[in-house]
Structure 1
Amino acid sequence: MAQPPKIRRIGVEELEIVRELALIIWPKCYRNIIGPDRVDAMLAVLYATDNLEDEMIRLGHVFWIVRYGDLNVGYASAYMDGGRLWLKKLYVRDDHRGLGLGKALIEAALEHFHTDRITNSPPLEMALYVNKDNTPAINYYLRSGFQVEAEVPVQMGPYGFTDYVMQKAI
């Protein structure tokens, strides 16, 4: 039997783990939504170690890794903006979904940001962007108490998408 999952915050020196997980998770998650050519191009930019470092150092994003047994199986990142805690990334390998790992990563973000260090007050809500065609993720977030707040255009490099902004009070 596998050991219980372990979630830990990581530093800049471990962002390569996030990139490696994205290379495994993203193609399966997005190939039918945005196409394999776009997935590869977006992975190359969004998960370049320099860009991840920029998110962490300049933008204040916090990253976590979830380990199940002896395998890293997922990651998340989040940051505060005013009274809103933004869940920027939440990904778990498809062969490890349904084990409560996504929920545990969300809880790690909530625990870390229980008090906004700038305003010294707790976040009032959690929000995220999700591609409007990513039905499995949308259904997961709906089951987790999020609601669609808005539909917005998103530009990632040369690619345009439509995302939902989803939020829930915390």
Structure 2
Amino acid sequence: MIQKGNTFIRKAIPQEASLIHELALDIWPKAFEEILSPEQIRYMFRMMYATDVLKKEMERGVEFYILNHEGAAAGYTAIEQKNETAWKLHKIYLSQKLHGKGFGKYQLHTMEAIARNNGAEYLCLNVNRYNKALDFYRSQGYIITGTEDIDIGGGYFMNDYVMQKRL
């Protein structure tokens, strides 16, 4: 557990997949409502946030973390070791009520510390090319290293920048 005042981040366990699902239900669609169609949001949510999908990700080595603020779960992150020198940030989401208060930086810096403490030299991530979070990542030292257009089925694509930061 990593603490900052009355806010802390702790590793989630597979039995908390339903908690992550509920957090995502509240947070995730709002993050994409301006750049994805409602149909794509529903499709992707089922594909990525069904409780059994989250449990399978945990079983294959994706580490989920929950941000607790003033006694309530208010955000989540997910990271995974990709190779000896790099980890990947899969998810970083925070309740919109807490945006602009430094908690996103707290989440990101905590994931960077976890990766670094496990021997990583880089943390990489994908971000939708139209996501306003792009500026946030840039402000935190991430650079664009490429683009990816990922076919996720259903006629939908994820049009992403690949970014990374040297830890």
Fold match by TM threshold 0.5: yes
Q: Residues 53-72 of structure 1: matches in 2 within 5 Å?
A: 53-58=55-60, 60-72=61-73
Identical residues among aligned pairs (%): 30
AA aligned opposite 1:127: C
How far apart are 1:115 and its partner, in Å?
4.3
**8 Å contact kept, 1:149–1:164:** yes
Specify the alignment match of 1:79 in structure 2: 80
Q: 3-state SS of the aligned residue for 1:23? A: helix
User: TM-score normalized by structure 1?
Assistant: 0.89
How far apart are 1:54 and its partner, in Å?
1.2
AA aligned opposite 1:113: A
How far apart are 1:44 and its partner, in Å?
1.3
AA aligned opposite 1:104: Y
Alignment partner for residue 135 of structure 2, among 129, 136, 139? 139
Specify the alignment match of 2:48 in structure 1: 46
| Residue deviations 1:122-168 (CA, integer Å, cap 9, x gap) | 1111100001011x210110111101110111122321131000101
Runs of 5+ consecutive residues of structure 1 not aligned to the other structure: 117-121
Q: 3-state SS of the aligned residue for 2:22? A: helix
How far apart are 1:32 and its partner, in Å?
1.4
Q: Give the ranges of 4+ consecutive aligned residues of structure 1 lying more than 6 Å apart after TM superposition.
A: none
How far apart are 1:31 and its partner, in Å?
1.2
**8 Å contact kept, 2:127–2:162:** yes
Specify the alignment match of 1:28 in structure 2: 30
Q: Does 1:130 align with 2:130?
A: no
How far apart are 1:108 and its partner, in Å?
2.7
CA separation in 1, counterparts of 2:165 and 2:116? 15
| Residue deviations 1:24-44 (CA, integer Å, cap 9, x gap) | 112211111111121112111
CA separation in 2, counterparts of 1:15 and 1:78? 15
**8 Å contact kept, 1:10–1:63:** yes
Q: Does 1:152 align with 2:148?
A: yes
AA aligned opposite 1:91: Y
